[in-house]
Amino acid sequence: MEKSVHILGVCGTFMGSLAILARESGFSVSGSDENVYPPMSTQLRSSGIKLYDGYEPSNLEARNDKIIVGNAMTRGQPIIEHILDKQYDYTSGPAWLADNVLSGKWVLAVSGTHGKTTTSSLLAWILEFANLSPGFLIGGVPLNFGLSARLGESDYFVVEADEYDTAFFDKRSKFVHYHPKTLIINNIEYDHADIFPDIESIYKQFHHLIRCVPSTGSIIIPSEDSGISAVLEKGCWTPVERFAFGGNFSGWNAYSVNDDGSSFFISDPNGNAAEIKWKIKGKHNVQNAMAAAIAANHVGISLEVIANAICEFKGVKRRLEFIGNIEGISIYDDFAHHPTAIASTLETLRSSYPTRKIFALIELRSNTMKAGIHGNSLVASVENADSVHWYERTGEWSGIQSLDNPSSSSYFYTSVDKIVTDLSKRVSEGDIVVLMSNGDFDDAGASIINALEQGVSR
């Protein structure tokens, strides 16, 4: 008899990808969510997954061998209380992934505060380019693949390793379940203030992750990151590969990096070098490329093949993704939601287009941003923008207006319609508009494009 799973929170990025992997693995899959809408709902239904809109306990009346509980679920929700009262068999998404997909695989995990999705996507692509047919689960859609997850046809599996907590019954970080052989740590900064009281609590979770990497594995890190150094000081039993940017460094190096990061050289510890010219921009993406290259080399791929693969990498949806040009006004969509990421995105645009006016539209969406935890670092992060439009959907500002010395070109909104109306009057040919949010920004990108097109037609 075909085994079945029911997934709570099935339309989330991670859980939706997990549902696809479960279906590919031969499970009968159904799921519940309060937000059942395209494109995820379309992708899941086309994969043969039955979806329930809402979290009604009756969704579970059909026999399920296992219930997979998303980390958005909490005690007190009727469906959770029903599961516990009935003593149904349940688990978390990361634990199910570890037991049913990752077991016996060479797991390549990509962790860190920033760059996980791009680095994971690039690493999976390098392995694919080298004919290794990896499986992967990524928190975004790599344009080289067009999907966020697949089982693959080899023993290699690339997973984006998130430090967010696992489930209401398991407060460890998701990545503790993955037991990687190859581990990338891109960087460590304070984030997720809703679950981590301080940076030390984040260090502790990364320390738990490092404890699970075998001595025959590899941990790949930038040569200078104070957060990573603090974690390694707690103990490390695995060889560490470091990389740097130029200078006299004996390990992996990126050098001759041009201003926008679209061209650079990679050299390995043996003195081999390769030139990279790719369509991806941003010096932060050069770091992502270095980390992915070293991880790919760890599984035996040559620098020459790695370089050729990087040159053909197309990027990831919503990572400084170009979404339209209306009468010379360029519009981009980006996932940035932390001061460091916002600053990197705007620095990339400024270095690429030094004379063009940049309009930054930033949604205060994450719990950390809304709580005002980042303080005045948010103000500093937008120094490369000519105009900043801050948006919070709640209707009540949670701190951004009270920051010290916000730019005189900062505007504050609780309505996307108002942003669209104002922006349409301010932008002109040659300007750049970039939307930054870890949510859908209430579809502001499409609304802006539509408004500008209507203005042209008039």
Tens of pLDDT, residue by residue, the chain (458 residues): 578 999 999 988 899 999 999 999 999 999 999 877 666 777 788 888 999 999 999 998 766 789 999 998 999 999 999 999 999 999 999 999 999 999 999 999 999 988 889 999 999 999 999 999 999 999 888 989 988 899 999 999 999 999 889 999 999 999 999 999 999 999 898 777 678 888 999 999 999 999 999 999 999 999 888 999 999 999 999 999 999 987 667 789 999 888 888 899 999 999 899 999 998 888 888 999 999 999 999 999 999 999 999 999 998 877 778 878 888 888 888 876 678 778 878 888 888 888 888 998 888 776 556 555 556 677 777 888 888 888 877 655 555 555 544 555 777 777 888 888 888 888 888 898 989 887 777 778 888 888 888 764 43
Query: How high is the pLDDT of residue 344?
Result: 78
Question: What's this model's pTM, rounded to 2 decimal places?
Answer: 0.82
Structure tokens at 268: 């390995």
Specify the pLDDT at position 196.
80
User: How far is 334 from 44, CA to CA, in rounded Å?
Assistant: 24
| CB of 125 closer than 8 Å to CB of 158 | no
Q: Which of 62, 94, 126 is the last residue of a domain?
A: 94
Domain range for 64:
4-94
Q: Are residues 57 and 132 in the same domain?
A: no
* CATH (domain of 436): 3.90.190.20
User: What is the H or E stretch that residue 136 is in?
Assistant: strand 135-137
Nearest CA-CA partner of 62 in 18, 11, 2, 9: 2
Examine the domain organization and report whether 88 and 138 are in the same domain: no
Whether the bond into 197 is cis, omega within 30 of 0? no
Kindly state whether residues 25 and 155 are assigned to the same domain.
Answer: no
Amino acid 414: pLDDT = 78
- If asked whether residues 177 and 305 sit together in one domain, one would say yes
- What is the predicted pLDDT for the residue at 402? 52
pLDDT of residue 235: 96
Rounded Cα distance, 145 and 124, in Å? 9
* pLDDT value for 197: 85
The angle formed by the CA atoms of residues 20, 26 and 32, to the nearest 5 degrees, is 45
So what's the pLDDT on residue 227? Answer: 92
Could you tell me if residue 99 is inside a domain? no
**Where among 278, 311, 344 does a domain terminate?**
311
Length of the chain measured in residues: 458
* Last residue in a domain, options 94, 123, 155: 94
Q: Is residue 316 part of a domain?
A: no
User: SS3 of 68, please?
Assistant: strand
